[in-house]
Amino acid sequence: MRSLRTLLLCAAVLTVVGVSRATTVVPPDFADLAADSDYVVRGRIKSLRNEIVVREGREVPFTHVEVEVRDVVAGTPPAKVVLRVLGGQTSDGRELRVEGVPAFTVGDEHILFVKGNGTNFYPLKGVMHGIYPVKFDKKLGREYIARANSVPLSSTAEVGLPLAGGKTAMMLSRLRTADDALTPAEFIQSVREARAAGKEGGLSRAK
């Protein structure tokens, strides 16, 4: 991962055009996602606050994303979880956003795999592969887990697959139902089991 200084310099250039090129990330497998995250939480997006950092005479906007934690899934998060994400508005109203990176909306609920907050430009493990929206199906009356592209997640094995976009994602969303998807409780339990297995494996290798 690039250093924060390098990212700031890149962002300074991007503020001129407003939008970067699409972000491509190799998806982590589920075991790596669970084990390598600093901490994992289920939470609701409480607020968004813009911050402008000046580097070499250029404004680089960041968004502070405050998360109201509902459940600590793994690890030890700080008492107040505020994610610092590259992107936002400059003082003259221009917008910097990293194309292909999920945006946060107040009120939405997610399971978040936090990695490198304050250092990485998008502080989730695997970028878009580290955010899992919690959705509710009114007809079935049940919550379910989706991927960042809103496609229902039916198995943790799908975590390591590339994220479909555009029309493909829309088609997959229609083909799958909430009844096919993991519930938050099922997904959280799988995360905790994978995290525990990862720690045991690490201890075994250390011996």
* pLDDT for residue 172: 72
DSSP states along 47-80: EEEEEEEEETTEEEEEEEEEEEEEEEEEE---SS
3-state secondary structure of 23: coil
**With 80 as the cut, is the pLDDT of residue 149 above it?**
yes
* pLDDT for residue 99: 84
With a CB cutoff of 8 Å and minimum separation 6, the contacts of 85 are: 62, 63, 64, 65, 104, 121, 122, 123
Q: Pick from 143, 168, 166, 148: which is nearest to 158 by CA?
A: 148
Q: How far is CA 30 from CA 10, 15, 194, 207, in A?
A: 30, 34, 8, 25
* pLDDT for residue 22: 52
Q: What is the pLDDT of residues 150-172, one digit of tens each?
A: 999 999 999 999 888 777 767 77
Distance CA 62, CA 187 (A): 30
pLDDT tier at 202, thresholds 50, 70, 90: low
| Per-position b or e across 142-151, b if 16+ CB within 10 A of its CB | ebbbbbbbeb
Q: Which two tokens stand for residue 97?
A: 């956003």
With a CB cutoff of 8 Å and minimum separation 6, the contacts of 22 are: 99, 100
Distance CA 7, CA 14 (A): 10
Distance CA 149, CA 194 (A): 23
DSSP states along 189-202: HHHHHHHHHHHHHH
113 CA to centre of own chain = 6
Determine what percent of the chain is predicted with pLDDT higher than 90.
64
Q: What is the pLDDT of residues 94-119, one digit of tens each?
A: 888 888 899 999 999 999 999 999 99
Q: What is the pLDDT of residues 10-61, one digit of tens each?
A: 443 343 334 444 567 889 999 999 999 999 999 999 999 999 999 888 899 9
* pLDDT for residue 7: 45
